[in-house]
Amino acid sequence: MKAKHSKETVELAPSYLTALVPANHAEQHEGQHYSIPLQEVKVVFPHGLPYRFQMQMKTFNESCLMVRKPALELLGYLKNTNFAHPAIRYVIYGEKGTGKTMTLCHAVHYCAKQDWLVLHIPDAHLWVKNCRELMQSSYNKERFDQPLEASTWLKNFKTSNDHFLKEIKTQQTYMWSKRESTEKGRPLGEVVEQGLTRVKNASDAVGVVLKELKKQCPLGSFRLLVAVDGINALWGRTTLRKKDKSAVSPEELTLVHNLRKMVVNDWNGGAIVTTLSQTGSLFKPRSAYLPHELLGKVSTHWTLSFPSRFPITVSESLRAVISITLTASGFNMREPVQKKGEMNCCFSATPTPGSWNGSLLISDTKESSLAATAAF
């Protein structure tokens, strides 16, 4: 499949495709891409891949992730986790467009391959803004439910972790209403079904799932990875309002409340990987990327690691991206023109993508790589 393209075109970057599994990625693979079969992508990433990556997948009919240093570091830590100790919280931060979400997806793919249970929240910002139906929670009168967001998340959770849901059993009876309940000892899949069929109870179903997983993970039958994109949404502000036009704070949302409990490191047997994101955030300036700017006071409690900016120089990664997009488009360009075009791209892409406001230069590495492909 790939060999057909690479025979025809001029190789500008070293062999850029490795068919290895994330577990075998090492420092020598830095800068190279590895592809995930599309069937696997549907199972492992029903949600969570950034929009531009999905467009690339649709155009080239393949999904290739680049192996980068922060991801390798994170994978190294995940490989050496001690499951007897409390779950370590990893925070990936960096400026806009540097690859935080993709690093998270790399870690998620690795853990999925290692047969961990992956709890992937694609974008926590979606839970604190633009909610069409905000209902008062039946469980706790103070809190608010979000049936739509909860049910979409449950559907995607089911796709990625089907086999686990049959094995894990509830340890408590849950009464959904006067007539419906889930007995103790039933598989967790039934709770998810309940949340999907009765959308009113979806947020509570999510809460139940999180609670059960947290209680049962220390017992050791499975490993849990909690991957949250945009963790700063849980401690920020919301744009949601109550009926009397007063603002809703994040604690008053059931989903956020339960997720906050999940992300506390009082359980063991897994890891928590999170990303700070300004892109979907509310009431934060565009230039904010450091943990104390985005998280506020909470940042003092968190382990700080993994700045997502770049040990791989931008021009190297650009060359790799350009060469891979060119071969995927099936091109046979003369070398001098290609090199000149690449030089142009490297000059116009700045080392911190997204740091140019309203300038005519193409300010995103992905955009500039696409401008290069558009040129050829």
Partner 1 sequence: MAAPMAGRLAALGRRLAPPARAWLPGLTQVRWSRYGPSYLEPEVNKEVYRKPLEGLSEEEKTQRELKTLQPIKATASNVTSSVFSDPTISKFTNMMMKGGNKVLARSIVTQTLEAIKRKQIEKYHQASEEERESIECNPYVIFHQALKNCQPIIGLCNIQKGGKTYQVPSPLKDNRKRFLAMKWLITECREHKHHRTFMHEKLSQELLQAFNNEGPVIKRKHDMHKMAEANRAYAHYRWW
Q: Are 356 and 368 in contact (CB under 8 A)?
A: no
CB-nearer residue toward partner 1: 190 or 364: 364
Task: Give the relative orientation of helices 188-197 and 147-160 as an angle to the nearest 10 degrees.
Answer: 140
Q: Is 229 in the site for partner 1 (CB under 8 A)?
A: no
The answer to whether residue 340 forms part of the interface with partner 1 (CB under 8 A) is yes
b/e per residue, 156-175, with b = 16+ CB within 10 A? Answer: bbbebbeebbeebebeeebe
Pick 61 or 197: Cβ nearer partner 1? 61
Nearer to partner 1, 234 or 362 (CB): 362
How many Å apart are CA 127 and CA 260, to the nearest integer? 13
Q: Using alpha carbons only, what angle is made at residue 106 by residues 63 and 119, rounded to the nearest 5 degrees?
A: 110
How many other CB atoms sit within 10 Å of the CB of residue 275?
24
Q: If binding is defined by CB under 8 A, does position 344 make contact with partner 1?
A: yes
Tokens 């849980």 sit on residue? 234
**By the rule CB under 8 A, 97 interacts with partner 1:** no
Q: Which of 162, 172, 337, 351 binds partner 1 (CB under 8 A)?
A: 337
Residue 248: which region, alpha, beta or left (left: phi > 0; alpha: psi -120 to 50)? beta
What is d(CA 250, CA 235) in angstroms, rounded to the nearest whole number? 7
Strand pairing of 135-136 and 144-145?
antiparallel
Cα Rg, the chain, nearest whole Å: 22
139 forms part of the interface with partner 1 (CB under 8 A): no
Residue 222 carries which side chain, given as an amino acid letter? F
From residue 295 to residue 334, what is the string marking binding to partner 1 with x (rule CB under 8 A)? ---------------------------------xxxx---
Task: Tell me if 60 contacts partner 1 by CB under 8 A.
Answer: yes
CB of 285 to partner 1, least distance (A): 20
Rounded to a whole number of angstroms, the minimum distance from the CB of residue 57 to partner 1 is 11
Q: How far is the CB of 373 from partner 1 (least distance, A)?
A: 6
Of the residues 48, 341, 353, 354, which one makes contact with partner 1 according to CB under 8 A: 341
Q: Which helix (H) or strand (E) is 38 found in, with range? A: helix 38-44
Residue 84 is classified by DSSP as T
- Shortest distance in whole angstroms from residue 49 CB to partner 1: 17
Token readout for 20 is 């290895």
375 binds partner 1 (CB under 8 A): yes
Instruction: State yes or no: residue 239 binds partner 1 (CB under 8 A).
Output: no
Question: Applying CB under 8 A, does 1 fall inside the site for partner 1?
Answer: no
When asked if residue 359 is in the footprint of partner 1 (CB under 8 A), the reply is: yes
Q: Which is nearer to partner 1, 59 or 221 (CB)?
A: 59
Nearest to 92 by CA among 190, 227, 256, 212: 227
Decide: is 83 part of the binding site for partner 1 (CB under 8 A).
Answer: no
Question: DSSP letter at 303?
Answer: P
| Under rule CB under 8 A, residue 370 binds partner 1 | yes
CB of 286 to partner 1, least distance (A): 15
For partner 1, the binding residues (CB under 8 A) are: 55, 58-61, 328-331, 337, 340-341, 344, 358-360, 362, 367, 370-371, 373-376
